[in-house]
Amino acid sequence: MRATGFGVSAGMSKPMAIDLATSIDDDRLRPFLPLVYVAWSDGELAPEEVTGICELVAGYSGIDEDCQVALRRWLDPLDPPTPQELEALRLQIAEWAESLSVEAAGSVVELGVAIAESTRPGAIVTGDEMSALADIQTEYGPFGPVPAVLGGPIRLRDLIEPAAPFDTERLTSILDGKHTRIRNRMRAVLTRPEFAYPDQPDRDAYRELVLVWTRILADEGLGVLSYPEPHGSGDPASFVVAFTMLGHHDLSLMTKFGVQFGLFGGSIARLGSARHHDEYLAAVGSLALPGCFAMTETGHGSNVRDLETIAVYDPDTDEFVVDTPNDLARKDYIGNAAAHGQLAVVFARLIVGDADNGVHAILVPIRDADGTVLPGVTIEDNAGKGGLNGVDNGRISFDHVHVPRAALLDRFASVDDHGVYHSDIPNPDRRFFTMIGTLVGGRVSVGAASVNVAKSVLTTAIRYAHRRRQFGPAIGAETLLIDYPVHQQELIPRLAATYAYHFAFENLISDYADQEGDQRKLEAEAAGLKAYASWHAIDTVQAAREACGGQGYLAVNRLTSMRADADIFTTYEGDNTVLTQLVAKALLSEFGQQFESMNATAMARYLFHRASSTLVEASPVTLSTTDSDQLVDAGWQISQLRWREAHVVESLAQRVKKRIEVGTEPTEAFVQVQSHAATAAACHVELVTLEAFVSAVDEIGDESVRRALDSLRALHGMSVIRANLGWFQEHGRFSGATSRQIRKVHQQLIQEVAAYSLALVDAFAIPEQVLAAPIAAYTND
């Protein structure tokens, strides 16, 4: 029974009479002795926590006064036990522990109970003792595993089971999965001598080299992978995977490849009709016809709907007249424009008669076959960029350029022989989003390629960390970088995240290839994963660069070029920040197709119902757990992220709804909640990514590989949860003790995974010639 008064000040008086050595034999103290030992030996309890433990025990009237006095003496911060007294305590506990079974001594608290039960006359642990122990555990945990010095066999490594050395090739085949064939084909092509890296060529030479490389890939038939038969292989997934494998090689090549075959060719394939396919796809796929995807303008990048270039139908000549009405309407940052492009897919407002039908795609020649810029077309070179200098980006403007009516890519809308505009999609908004939606492949591709950039740089940095030594003990070799906790902390959680994203993109690529899937969901997932994977990539390259010190800064090790090139991944194919808002809106729309028309009552009922069903998943015991087994459990981790996503999305919905109700214009309402919306998007992507990782691990048959990846998954889940401990506590989800334990277990997992991190990067199977960094080479050491 809990007593009402605590006697705090009495608790601080100093009971000098107690002899610690003798008091070890006082059987009333036994349940608490392992806790006492850990409290001191661990060195991780603050004085106020030690005092707090005394107060907690003092709150139980069933624990007698003498026992409390002795305990207070043991825990007195002003007069701690000597090392000798502590050692005597340790030896006694270890002796008792030896006689117990392992199962009985899982945690320090359980060890105390087990000792008391096996050594005390009567062998009973009272209810008050149990309650006091449980309280201490809850308030001042973690007191999870029994330290080895107490005779306990349990360290986290053992709890999760040591990662047996596993078969790296087996892991590679799991990672390659159903795309093994195209991945191996790309590995073979890219290791050919033609693909060796040049020594910092000047801009023009670099652009020409990239063109040559792109042609080799076209000759290999890789350019037409995604096009419908008979023009190509009708295999969009393989095209995406081929593109992403270029993420290990030169990223200018990757981008040029994507511009030519993906954006330019892809828009002809998806927005054009059979006539366009017959006329162009073969030449595009062979690179006989280099071209541009001319969407972005100087004035409008993210906001495509408000592009200003116009294509006006001229009934007299039966042509479209393409024009750039002002400087901000110039097409800008267009790949293939500055040097090589001959034909451009131009996104322009289609004006027929008095009607502005909104943005459509139309083919406009910009150079002849000799490379001479055509009349009415003006092209400027974007010149130097932060990276990707092997791609010839440029700025295009049109001065009343005439193209035939057939130049309109007319799958979704056309102008007939009588000069009348037709579309099967009457709603202009829906028509616009349908056209733009067909281009989702770009986001899938850039996101997935980002993951491969991360794999490349982690391979380099983790191999270097297993070779480079610096500082160390007074005697003997210096310490390997990989053995430093701060070094592990920079690299290992990012390695875990990279695996998580890998599996998330494997799912996304499958969804993309599935023509029958939910297009709206695909677009939202692609937007979210592209944004967070590209941020992950540049963050990881930077961490890898710093982890390799001065060597990391040398161009020859390729980290800095990866960094400079991948930087723009966060902007192109959709500004990441704008993408997060798209994701948030998609999440809100899950509340019902007619979110905006839902009345307050219906909304509240829906939200309340949803909140209750989510909350029910976790009992209060779960919320304040310090049990490592539970914290690393896949189901537990998923349930935390699911709860968080649901909670954040619900509160976002409420905020938007309330603003609209009081008359705020919906656009403005969304602007006001942008930060909250970005958080909702992050929560969603974190959940989807962890879920993908969990499913992938579940499917692994090989036991040793499965175990290794399960620890990696546990680490990743823990990283995400740890990064949000403030939020989880704020929402009453975790106690301070749970929060501390999470940080502790996270550290332990990092250390565990670091031990086999070399195998984890080797499994990416990036060919030596492609990785190319001397500091990562296995062959010259």
Does residue 282 belong to the site contacting its own copies (CB under 8 A)?
no
Q: Which residues are catalytic?
A: 573
Residue 78 or 123 having the CB closest to its own copies: 78
Residue whose C-alpha is closest to residue 151's, from 83, 87, 114, 97: 97
Does residue 654 belong to the site contacting its own copies (CB under 8 A)?
yes
Cβ 680 vs Cβ 648: under 8 Å: yes
- Shortest distance (Å) from residue 210 CB to its own copies: 17
Q: Exposure pattern of 255-282 as b/e (b: 16+ CB <10 Å)?
A: bbbbbbbbbbbbbbbbbbeeebbeebbb
Question: What track of x and - describes contact with its own copies for positions 41 through 80 (by CB under 8 A)?
Answer: xxxxxxxx----------------------------xxxx
Size of the site for its own copies (CB under 8 A): 115
- Distance, CA of 493 to chain centre: 11
- Shortest distance (Å) from residue 393 CB to its own copies: 9
According to CB under 8 A, which one of 25, 98, 103, 199 is a site residue for its own copies?
199
CA distances 767 to 442, 459, 724, Å, are 25, 11, 37
Q: What is the 3-state secondary structure (H, E, C) of 590-656?
A: CCCCCHHHCCHHHHHHHHHHHHHHHHCCCCHHHHCCCCHHHHCCHHHHHHHHHHHHHHHHHHHHHHH
Residue 484 or 756 having the CB closest to its own copies: 484
Residue 512 or 728 having the CB closest to its own copies: 728
- Shortest distance (Å) from residue 485 CB to its own copies: 4
Residue 16 or 662 having the CB closest to its own copies: 662
Cβ 738 vs Cβ 625: under 8 Å: yes
According to CB under 8 A, which one of 556, 598, 755, 758 is a site residue for its own copies?
556
Contact positions with its own copies (CB under 8 A) in 352-411: 382-387
Does residue 627 belong to the site contacting its own copies (CB under 8 A)?
no
Does residue 616 belong to the site contacting its own copies (CB under 8 A)?
no
Does residue 490 belong to the site contacting its own copies (CB under 8 A)?
yes
DSSP state of 53: H
Contact positions with its own copies (CB under 8 A) in 130-149: 149
- Shortest distance (Å) from residue 744 CB to its own copies: 11
* Segment lying near its own copies (by CB under 8 A), choices 211-219, 272-280, 431-439, 668-676: 668-676
Rounded distance between C-alpha atoms, residue 438 and residue 583, angstroms: 17
Residue with tokens 């982690």: 458
Does residue 486 belong to the site contacting its own copies (CB under 8 A)?
yes
Question: What track of x and - describes contact with its own copies for positions 144 through 173 (by CB under 8 A)?
Answer: -----x------------------------
Contact positions with its own copies (CB under 8 A) in 674-733: 674-675, 678, 724-732
- Shortest distance (Å) from residue 569 CB to its own copies: 11
| Residue 639 CA neighbour count, 13 Å, CB half | 17
Largest CA distance in the chain: 111
Does residue 581 belong to the site contacting its own copies (CB under 8 A)?
yes
Does residue 102 belong to the site contacting its own copies (CB under 8 A)?
no
Written as six digits, the tokens of 215 are: 């042609």
Does residue 327 belong to the site contacting its own copies (CB under 8 A)?
no
Residue 455 or 733 having the CB closest to its own copies: 733
Going by their DSSP bridges, the two strands 291-294 and 343-352 should be labelled as: parallel
| Residue 184 CA neighbour count, 13 Å, CB half | 9
According to CB under 8 A, which one of 661, 698, 699, 703 is a site residue for its own copies?
661
CA distances 573 to 226, 266, 418, 526, 579, Å, are 18, 14, 37, 11, 10
Contact positions with its own copies (CB under 8 A) in 296-325: 296, 300-303, 306
